[in-house]
Amino acid sequence: MTGFVVRNCWDLGTRRRVVTTCEEGFPKPFVNTTGLPIIERMPGWKGRYFHSANMTFAHYEFSRGSSIHEHFHPEEEVYEVIDGELEITIDGVSQTARAGLVAIVPSNPRHSVKALTDGRAIIVDHPARPEFG
Domain ranges of the chain: 1-30, 32-126
Average pLDDT of the chain is: 85
Neighbours of 85 (CB within 10 A): 20
CATH architecture of 32-126: Sandwich (2.60)
Span 72-96, average pLDDT: 98
- Structure confidence by residue, pLDDT tens digits, 28-41: 678 889 989 999 99
At residue 127, the pLDDT reads: 94
Selection from 13-17, 34-38, 58-62 with the highest mean pLDDT: 58-62
Give the sign of the dihedral formed by CA 126, CA 132, CA 45, CA 82.
positive
Query: Rounded mean pLDDT of 84-98?
Result: 97
Tell me if residue 35 falls in helix, strand or coil: helix
> Does pLDDT of 64 surpass 50?
yes
CA nearest neighbour of 67 among 44, 49, 89, 46 = 44
